[in-house]
Amino acid sequence: MINKEMLEYLNIYISKASELEIKIMEVCGTHTRAIAKSGIKQLLSENISLISGPGCPVCVTDDSYIDLLMDISRDNNIILVSFGDIINYRIKENSHNNISIAYSPKEALNIANENKDKLIVFAAFGFETTAPIIASLVIEAQSKNINNITFLTALKVMEPVLRYILDNKLNKINALILPGHVATITGSNHFNFVSEDYNIPSVICGFESLDIISGITMLLKQITEKDFKLNNLYQRCVRKEGNTKALSVMNKVFEKAEGFWRGIGVIEQSGLTIRQEYDEYNAMKRLGIQLKNVESYECKCSEILLGLKSPKQCVFFGKECTPDKPIGPCMVTSEGACAAYYKYGDSYGR
């Protein structure tokens, strides 16, 4: 619930920033959806822009990974297990019926136990939020000698892509609303590089309207006072050191490698791959396949993910590209900027 006192505090700093052009990127797709749903952009003046970043797992997944999932789903000896959003983008209508939709990664082990004559391939994509869960499944599968399951990983870590965006002077990002779920795992200290290396303010906040408004107000305060640092307003979930147990499990199973980002290409040390000692659970090695960087994008998802364009600047938006018939992943998932803009219209995009 947005209260009067918080709005007054926000308006003070909106007024102080009236002579500045400010671009604030909300990195997390969940923040994008929350901002759209609550109409927070309508509270800001025209000189303050909120733009979406690369924190939507489906949106940043390269088409080469999707192509592999499509190929795998056509093999009658394999059951592909995945979350629904990525299945709805190009896979379902182009594949056979060897797909099982999961609501929890844990379901993949159950499916493996129930289908011992099949190889289970779990589509493991996402960020540091998802990686520890996947890692724990790999460890559990090994400990229980479940050998008919593998993981096709497209897991990514957040710091390299944020550096990629901030290194590009064309973006002109003045502040970041950092990904709260990722920070729950990595800890707030992990993101100190934003202010230390790039001299811009950042904030970690929750996902309620009041959380986000507090975060934006804090960023505007820092910009107008030229006091650039990281503020953790999500201390109920985010500690400085993060979730050390989750990090330990993640680092035990995965190691950093190059990551393929939709519309960006390869970013070094931005991906997570399964360590050699767990090779039997690495679908790439088990099936003898590999990713090929594909650049065949019709829509403007890549520019939207980098904050260079708004959804409405894509010629396909709302016409050829809708949630029912998405051309790009930013439209297919509720965490995508295009889907949020389409659903909430001017209350989100202005």
Q: Which domains does the chain have, with CATH numbers?
A: 1-302 (3.40.50.11750), 303-344 (no CATH)
Residue 298, pLDDT score? 67
Residue 95, pLDDT score? 52
Question: Which residues does 52 contact at the CB level (< 8 Å), separation at least 6?
Answer: 25, 26, 29, 32, 304, 305, 307, 337, 340
Unique residue bearing structure tokens 């505007």: 220
> In whole angstroms, what is the distance from residue 202 CA to residue 222 CA?
9
H, E, C per residue of 157-200: CHHHHHHHHHHCCCCCCCEEEECHHHHHHHCHHHHCHHHHHHCC
Residue 350, pLDDT score? 45
According to DSSP, residue 96 is labeled -
Distance of alpha carbon 280 from the chain centroid? 27
As a whole number of Å, the CA-based R_g of the chain is 21
**Does residue 177 contact residue 216 with C-beta atoms inside 8 Å?**
yes
Could you please report the per-residue DSSP string of 199-260?
Answer: ---EEE--SSHHHHHHHHHHHHHHHHHT---EEE--TTT--SS--HHHHHHHHHHEEEEEEE
Q: What is the pLDDT along the chain (350 residues), one digit of tens a residue?
A: 567 788 899 999 999 999 999 999 999 989 998 998 888 999 999 999 999 899 888 888 888 888 888 889 889 999 999 886 676 666 555 555 688 888 888 899 999 999 999 999 999 999 999 999 999 999 999 999 999 999 999 999 999 999 999 998 878 899 999 999 999 999 999 999 999 999 999 999 999 999 999 999 999 999 999 999 999 999 999 999 999 999 999 999 999 999 998 878 899 999 999 999 999 999 999 999 887 765 555 677 778 887 788 888 888 888 888 888 887 778 877 788 888 888 887 555 44
